Structure 1
């Protein structure tokens, strides 16, 4: 497996190997297995005969910190790339920047911060379990968290930077900034945070379309791009997978419920008329 990953990512980054939770496979594998055990087995068993925990204050603090962290990473990445745009030969083919110390540091440091955020995201599912909101512990939710954390581990360890995935980081952080703002307002029980829930899913779908386009571009128009082709294809395939899963969720949660509501309203009018 290690040899196949090296051939896909081309190298094992010496800087990333020195960072906590990167380099060795053990931490991310242990964290992911512990996450699965807690949210799918241990948590439900533990909560079976217990009332949901009141952890509103903890959730408010968690959501607020997530908003700050995601918005800051998004802002930092955009501003740094814009400031040093003259040192970026082609925004359609983002790689490493050996001739730009600032962008080179950004490449690994921001990715590392993003990776840590994706690991911290595991806590969100544990909150669902403690509140007995088991419907929210869906396949889409669990798969998305595990995919993001484990992939960012391998991207950092073997490639040592964001490269073309800078677009993923910026878009993902922007969407999560909105998402955790919604969670924060919902935890406050404010009506203002309710009406725009479906638009967050629309933002997520738009995000995956943009990621698909950005990673398809070098495959089609920049075949000489030095960013690993395997990573480009992974982003393309993963974008299609996420579009399908989130699209299915959107149809089931919003479109079908809206259709049922319209049908129910029509039936009520018919009954009243009769």
Structure 2
């Protein structure tokens, strides 16, 4: 009798979960239902599960192996990401932010108008880049750059695919897309630096602006936090507040993590330079920006 009672309770819990899940999915935007990854959250969750398993086991698998030479692949990858990020920046802009979107309250346009569909597709493509960017971590592991698998790096790459899946599924337009628009621009600049730096020493010597990558990322967070904070005061805004609060919370977390990283790294760099020692340069980006995906450091 007790076993039957416990089984009945478990079935009630399971049925409740199924009902809540079904009700939640019914609230999704039907326009994106047939797009890749958007039918259910499980492909995204499985992708992220595989990602975290790889992060945990990858360094051990590579321990007794030689690092892969991925220079050519990284050059192609970085310049591809420059093109894709800039394309998304333009598309999100033409979908609203270059035209008639308001920096204040901006509801989601759920219609089938060409402009509304353009914004939804641009945001979906932005989500796709978050899956692609998991490759940054794969490159670290395959090249045995395990010191770059920091909490900041894994948290940043591991969180965004799921958070933006929710955004595309339920609010593919309006207020929250400002964050994606700014981020696409920052990634255009960031991957341009990585791509140029990956070309080798003949190009690296002209990359005087390498130290401003982290500054640009921090500025991005400040802009997004300032914009998103409006939701606290926009009482009559027809945009779901939970999504804005989610953007605000994780952007704040990124800001503090990047700021901690910035202070630690640049304070160390300054002290090293004051001692007359060469600073550290990374062929395919700076580890100090928390986002690099390339070659091992060498002294200039």
Describe the superposition over 1:209-228 as per-residue Cα deviations: whole angstroms up to 9, x where unpaired: 111111112322x2100111
| Highest RCO, 1 vs 2 (Cα 8 Å, sep ≥ 6) | 1
Alpha carbons of structure 1 residues 140 and 200: separation in structure 2 relative to 1, 3 Å: same
Q: CA deviation at 1:163?
A: 2.1
Aligned to 2:153: 141
- Segments of structure 1 that go 5 or more residues without pairing to the other structure are 267-274
Aligned to 1:73: 88
Distance 1:6 1:33 in 2: 25
Distance 2:138 2:64 in 1: 17
Pick one of 16, 24, 30 that aligns with 2:32: 16
Aligned to 1:269: none
Per the normalisation by structure 1, the TM-score is 0.86
Task: Report the count of equivalent residues.
Answer: 258
- Segments of structure 2 that go 5 or more residues without pairing to the other structure are 1-16, 278-300
Q: CA deviation at 1:193?
A: 5.9
Alpha carbons of structure 1 residues 169 and 5: separation in structure 2 relative to 1, 3 Å: farther
Distance 1:5 1:228 in 2: 19
Kindly indicate whether residue 180 of structure 2 is the aligned counterpart of residue 169 of structure 1. Answer: yes
Pick one of 59, 67, 87 that aligns with 1:52: 67
Kindly indicate whether residue 79 of structure 2 is the aligned counterpart of residue 64 of structure 1. Answer: yes
Instruction: Pick which of 12-21 and 124-133 moved more.
Output: 12-21
RMSD: 2.4
Aligned to 1:217: 230
User: Contact 1:108–1:162 (CA<8 Å) still a contact in 2?
Assistant: yes
Aligned to 1:271: none
